[in-house]
Structure 1
């Protein structure tokens, strides 16, 4: 006689960035000057929906959902940073030719981004240790990284710059 163990099929949660993307588009339409705070409500929309899909309510599923949306915001952050860097280089060149530059815009941008990365890492480590080694630490850390990355992406895209 052969004993066969049957376990329920594990399903991966279904992540799609569409809810977050649509929410951000609506926020841009509502605030063309990028000054409104409603865009902050967009952060986490897609990962929350993912967590209600089959498999999304487990610890691993939650982390997968949160990391899916983190990748969305990280892509936006990298694109916004690249644009800001190009503008900073242009501004530095113009100020250098006019001999008015005392501080490099590019260097200031890089220093700000490095400081933000250090802050994000420290803030999210703090979130993790609140769980004292428990299984909630993974989702808490992923949620923190998502929140911080999204806010930084929006900041670099020009939200609240006025």
Structure 2
């Protein structure tokens, strides 16, 4: 009977995590009112924090779900900003010709190096939990923080 209850708990957990009270609204509103880069950077984690402050979001499963949902938000922003930045780089490269046009390649190489850095940094974060249950939320929180910041860097227009 105990084994069946454990199996049911693990099977039900992902379904339960789908019922988290998560919304991107707080993060979006924060970004809309932010006056500069530092203020936009402070918006990272806003929606996940609100979600984790609820009873459903306060468990390890809930924290993972809340953090992962905001990570998905920032990952989408990052990909949109990267595509815009890449199109701009390719246009600039075309303007200066093939011998001087290196912005698109440099952007691609920078982003690939950043992905490797993010993954390694967040794996280090996980390692500090030595296999404990906090390693999951800590890893996702790291991914969220670094992805959000990179999304903002790629979308930065006040250079």
Length-normalised TM-score, structure 2: 0.86
Spell out, residue by residue over 1:93-128, the C-alpha distance to the aligned partner (whole angstroms, 9 max, x if none): 00107x6x1x51000000000000000000000000
Report how far residue 48 of structure 1 moved. 0.4
Q: Does 1:55 align with 2:56?
A: yes
Judging by fraction of residues, say which structure has more helix: 2
How far residue 55 of structure 1 moved from its aligned partner, in angstroms, is: 1.3
CA shift for structure 1 position 21: 0.5
Equivalent residues in 2 for 1:28-39, closer than 5 Å: 30-31=35-36, 36-39=37-40
Of the three residues 12, 21, 26, the one matched with 1:14 is 21
Match of 2:140 among 120, 139, 142: 142
Offset at residue 39 of structure 1 (A): 1.4
Gapped runs of 5+ residues in structure 1? none
| Pairs within 5 Å for 1:76-87 | 76-87=77-88
Shift of 1:13: 1.8
Residue 120 of structure 2 corresponds to: 122
Look up the SS of the partner of 1:37 in the other structure: helix
In the alignment, what sits opposite 2:32? 25
Task: Tell me the alpha carbon deviations over residues 63-101 of structure 1, each in whole angstroms, 9 at most, x when there is no partner.
Answer: 10000000110010000000011011101100107x6x1
Partners of 1:72 and 1:90 lie apart in 2 by: 28
Deviation at residue 53 of structure 1 after TM alignment: 2.1
- Greater Rg over alpha carbons, structure: 1
Taking only aligned residues, the RMSD between alpha carbons, in angstroms, comes to 2.1
The alignment partner of 1:42 has SS state of: coil
Question: SS at 2:57's partner residue?
Answer: coil
Aligned to 1:89: 90
